[in-house]
Amino acid sequence: MTKPLTDYVKLPTFDEYKEIFKEHADLEREDGILQVTMQTNGGPCYWSERSHNAYPLLMKFIAMDRDNEVLIWTHQGPDWMQQTDPGGWEVYKTDYMKHSYFDDTRLIQNMVFDLEIPTIGAMQGPGFHWDTCMMCDITIASEDCRWDDFHFQYGLVPGDGMALIMQHFLGTKRANYLMYTSRQWDAKQAMDWGWINEICPKGKTLDRAWELARLIKSVPRAPREITANLAKRPMQKLLTEDLKLHNVSEQFSTQLQVAAKKIGTEQVDEAEATNFMRWRYAADNFEMMKPQSLKTWNFREKVMAWVEKQKSKALK
């Protein structure tokens, strides 16, 4: 047999790309099952331009490695992300298009277009920017989870893909109401509405994700991967039709706010956003589960009071 003129391109090994992404994710693989745990320097994930950039790239590395056969996507610690990086948003002033139009859309697109393997999202607690987890073929969640899209309450257009996912899974009317009011929903509602597949006891979500992954992995590779493509097909069609429009809408509105100096000024808004998120998902705070009025919807004074209360507790 004649020898080929070229060899296969040498791709990065698992250990090599595990090292590349170590500031953003922990990668653990066993028998073809890959668990990706979102984090920032070993702690909870701080949302930033860099995480927006890192996770879509990581998905491409995962997709190129044929030793990855089933994916579990989760977050470090007992909750989902609740903090933003106050120093990690400088392209608001320089190249917002790179962040929003490319990285932000690829964050969602790559989950369903690149990863041609079964994917399981595992939410271990409440938090924001749940989009990567909800784009998985199967999503399971801890009993204390709560979801929302806070953008409109914060003065932004909810166009980064979360509201689009809500419209798809929750129905247009329900999603529009939740989008306008930024109201939260809990695990029981999520299960009833078809938003998630299983509710897990607190602390057991990852155990169940691995059980499901091993069950899926027990099926031969060819039917497993072909089924994974069928599972992603509805979301692929949705994103092709609507994601760019949603994203450009948020991008345009954000730039208007930046030009008016209402956000993006010395990143004060992102420091405030972290307090806003932590308040929303605090274990003793269920205010956003209730119907809102103009009076109750004004969050800034409440957040400031809550932050001071947390400081007082820490000093005791």
| Residues whose CB is less than 8 angstroms from the CB of residue 262 and which lie 6 or more positions away in sequence, other chains included | 155
Asked if 25 and 45 touch (Cβ cutoff 8 Å), the reply is no
Q: What is the pLDDT of residue 64?
A: 97
Structure-model confidence comparison of residues 248 and 188, the more confident one: 188
How do residues 193-239 score in pLDDT, each as one tens digit? Answer: 999 999 999 999 999 999 999 999 999 999 999 999 999 999 999 99
Please name the residues in contact with 236: beta carbons below 8 A apart, sequence gap of 6 or more: 112, 113
What does the alpha-carbon distance between residue 86 and residue 185 come to, in Å, rounded to a whole number? 27
Residue 12 phi, psi dihedral angles, 5° rounding: -60, 140
CA distance 12 to 24: 18
Position 283, amino acid:
A
Query: Considering the entire predicted model, what is its pTM?
Result: 0.94
CA distance 161 to 95: 20
Secondary structure letter of residue 11 according to DSSP? P
Q: Point out the least confidently predicted range of 73-82, 113-122, 258-267.
A: 258-267
In 164-308, beta strands by DSSP E: 185-186, 198-200
pLDDT, tens digit, for every residue of 79-106? 999 999 988 877 766 776 677 778 888 9
Task: Check the CA dihedral 51-138-78-148 and report its sign.
Answer: positive
Q: What mean pLDDT, rounded, does the chain reach?
A: 92
- Would you state the pLDDT for residue 258? 76
pLDDT band at 128 (very low <50, low <70, confident <90, very high): very high
Tell whether the torsion through CA atoms of 257, 108, 39 and 54 is positive or negative: negative
Which residue in this structure is represented by tokens 């391109």?
A: 9
Is residue 299 within 8 A of residue 272, CB to CB? The reply is no
b/e burial code for range 182-213 (CB count within 10 A of at least 16 → b): bbbbbbebbeeeebbbebbeeeebbebbbebb
Amino acid at 202: K
Which residues lie below 8 Å from residue 289, measured CB to CB, with a gap of 6+? 146, 183, 184, 185, 186
For residue 266, pLDDT over 60 is answered with no
Tokens for 50?
Answer: 């860099």
Domains of the chain, start order: 14-300 (3.90.226.10)
Q: Is the pLDDT of residue 296 over 90?
A: no
CA–CA separation, 104 and 283 (whole Å): 29
Here the tokens at position 119 are 């994917």
pLDDT for 23 beyond 80: yes
